[in-house]
Amino acid sequence: MTSDGTRHGAATPGGASERAARDTAPDAGLLTPVRAGTRVERLTSDTAWARAMLDAEAALARAQARAGLIPERAAALITRAAADLTVDPAGLARRARRSATPVVPLVTDLRAAAGEAAGFVHRGATSQDIVDSAAMLVSSRALAAITAGLEAAMRPLAALADRHRDTVMAARTLGQQAVPTTFGLKAAGWLAGLLRARDRLAALRLPAQLGGAAGTLAALVETAAMEPPSPAAGAPAPQARALALVDLFAEELGLATPQTPWHADRTVVGELGAALTGTAEALGKVATDVILLAQTEVGEVAEAAPGGSSAMPHKRNPALSVLVRSAALQVPVYAWPLGRSGEHERAAGAWQAEWAPLRECLRLTGGAAETAAELLAGLEVFPGRMRANLDLTGGRVVSERLAAHLPADELAELLRGDGPLRGPDDLLDPAAYLGAARELVDRVLAAYRDRRT
């Protein structure tokens, strides 16, 4: 007993359980090991998000200097201050509670660090400009990692499809053996799904965000009206200078230029969430099939590094596949709040609700891609077991073919008997009833190679 009458180790305020909670990193991935230690986890950490917001503030200052709206020295001081500023994410989050956005306390810190350039920090922008631009910057960096993971997964998949182009196995529909296929075609189907996912990610055009208080650029137009343009620029209207600034800001960030501010039009985020969902589900398809093919009673594939069990030493669990499938099931749930339309010129709650789910979508999809690459690089394939399983039906796996050659009553009588079917060997050979399986494999591999070049 302790001095206050509680048992040692009891979960009391200030006790061991509370100390453990304080000592644990908030985004360590304990309950989402699929992304633990992956590149995308680092790119989406609290520190990475804070750094992206500082990058956006620095990019805004540089763009304004290029547009002649603030002195170049001020932009240089702000850029240096943003690069050198050390952020305590937990402290920043606590300070953000008063304004519902981390930008307000972050701008306070940046102004304090910018010295004589403090008055030029965040000039003409609103908090959502910085958060949205930072979100697109974090997403862009994470998408590069996700795409790299997909490429790493597709290389062994293409090799599997090519190597097993003629490896006959049973196709399965509704959990039952259907007709013969090849493992090469199954692998090619997985590859085609990842190709579509990669192309969809590549087609995304993530835009910067800069609209000012309510999407009119009014403060920037006012600044442009007060600051004379350089003689070389002629005399453009203040509105034109403000619009040109948006282009420069996007260029500084390496993002697309938005046609208009999208504060309350969240289709950009919705499309990103949909693309991440599709990618996770394409990876999940691979993992689900591997789990089923690796079942003890099937045994047609196995992961190279089997996962152990805390209670059953004999088990060879498909642990990597389980992690990938778990991510695929979670991403659509996290994507649900993304892309919800906001009321009027800025949402109260819907926009803020995107931040954490978007990060989880990026993390889980990136973790699934990196884990799938590891899974596929070491996947073991057992053609002998595939053939043995194919023979379990005694030739009935080609009943569709027999139906094209035998009268219906004769086929029904043939299938009714026990034991192996008796009939012409050329009709009963599963390897002779593969349709265009080989050609479909070649088509997918050609598409894969074309995209690589």
CB contact at 8 A, 374 and 324 = no
DSSP per-residue string spanning 223-265: HHHHSPPPGGG----HHHHHHHHHHHHHHHHT-BPPSS--SS-
User: CA geometry: angle at 332 spanning 328 and 334, to 5°?
Assistant: 110
One fold for 40-131+213-253 and 133-208+264-390+435-452: no
Q: What are the residue ranges spanned by the domains of the chain? A: 40-131+213-253, 133-208+264-390+435-452
pLDDT of amino acid 232:
63
CB-CB contact of 140 with 133 (8 Å): no
Mean pLDDT of 94-116: 96
Distances (CA, A) of 107 to 24, 49, 130: 28, 14, 10
What is the pLDDT of the chain when averaged over all its residues? 90
What Rg do the C-alpha atoms of the chain give, in angstroms? 29
- Within 10 Å of residue 108's Cβ, how many Cβ atoms? 14
Catalytic-role residue among 73, 309, 443, 452: 309
Contact predicate 77/115, CB 8 Å: yes
The pLDDT of residue 50 is above 60 = yes
Gap between the Cα atoms of 110 and 72, Å rounded: 17
Helix, strand or coil for residue 169?
Answer: strand
Closest-CA residue to 190 (of 148, 223, 161):
161
Determine whether 309 is an active site residue: yes
User: Which H/E stretch holds residue 135?
Assistant: helix 127-163
Where does the pLDDT of residue 312 fall: very low under 50, low under 70, confident under 90, or very high at 90 and above? low
CA 31, distance to chain mean position in Å, is: 18
Angle, helix 46-66 to helix 103-114, in steps of 10 degrees: 60
Quickly state the pLDDT bin for 380 (edges 50, 70, 90): very high
- Let me know if 127 is a catalytic residue: no
Q: Domain spanning 40-131+213-253 has what CATH number?
A: 1.10.275.10
86-100, 316-330, 415-429: which has the minimum mean pLDDT?
415-429
> How does pLDDT run across 391-424, given as a tens digit for each residue?
998 888 888 888 888 888 888 877 887 878 877 7
User: What is the distance between the alpha carbons of residues 336 and 351, in angstroms, rounded to a whole number?
Assistant: 13
Q: Is the dihedral of CA 250, 256, 261, 267 positive or negative?
A: negative
Report pTM. Answer: 0.90
User: With the CA atoms of 340, 346, 349 and 353 taken in that order, what torsion angle do they form, in degrees rounded to the nearest 10?
Assistant: 50
**Terminal-residue alpha carbon distance, the chain:** 70
Region of poorest pLDDT, from 102-116, 244-258, 392-406: 392-406
| For range 130-154, the mean pLDDT | 98
Q: Cβ(365)–Cβ(146) under 8 Å?
A: yes
Q: How far apart are CA 180 and CA 101, in angstroms?
A: 58
Percent of the chain topping pLDDT 90: 73
Closest residue by Cα to residue 38 from 371, 421, 296, 342: 371
What's the rounded Cα separation, in Å, for the pair 244 and 68? 11
Closest CA to 282 of 203, 191, 370, 204: 191
Structure tokens at 264: 């309350």
> How distant, in Å, are the alpha carbons of 114, 172, 267, 300 from that of 212?
21, 56, 19, 59
User: Active site residue: 51, 198, 346, 401, which one?
Assistant: 346
Q: Give the separation between CA 316 and CA 413, rounded to whole angstroms.
A: 42
Residue written as tokens 């343009």?
229
The three-state secondary structure class of 180 is strand
Measured on CA atoms in the order 87, 91, 94, 95, is the torsion positive or negative?
negative
Q: Which CATH superfamily is domain 133-208+264-390+435-452 in?
A: Fumarase/aspartase (Central domain) (1.20.200.10)
Scanning 294-379, the segments in alpha helix (DSSP H) are: 319-335, 355-377
pLDDT-derived band at 244, boundaries 50, 70, 90 = very high
Nearest to 195 by CA among 256, 108, 114, 286: 286
User: Which of 56-70, 307-321, 399-413 is predicted most confidently?
Assistant: 56-70
What is the pLDDT at residue 418?
Answer: 80
Token couple for 162: 């090519």
- Give every CB contact of residue 378 below 8 A, 6+ residues apart in sequence: 303, 304, 305
Phi, psi dihedral angles at 207 (to 5 degrees): -95, 155
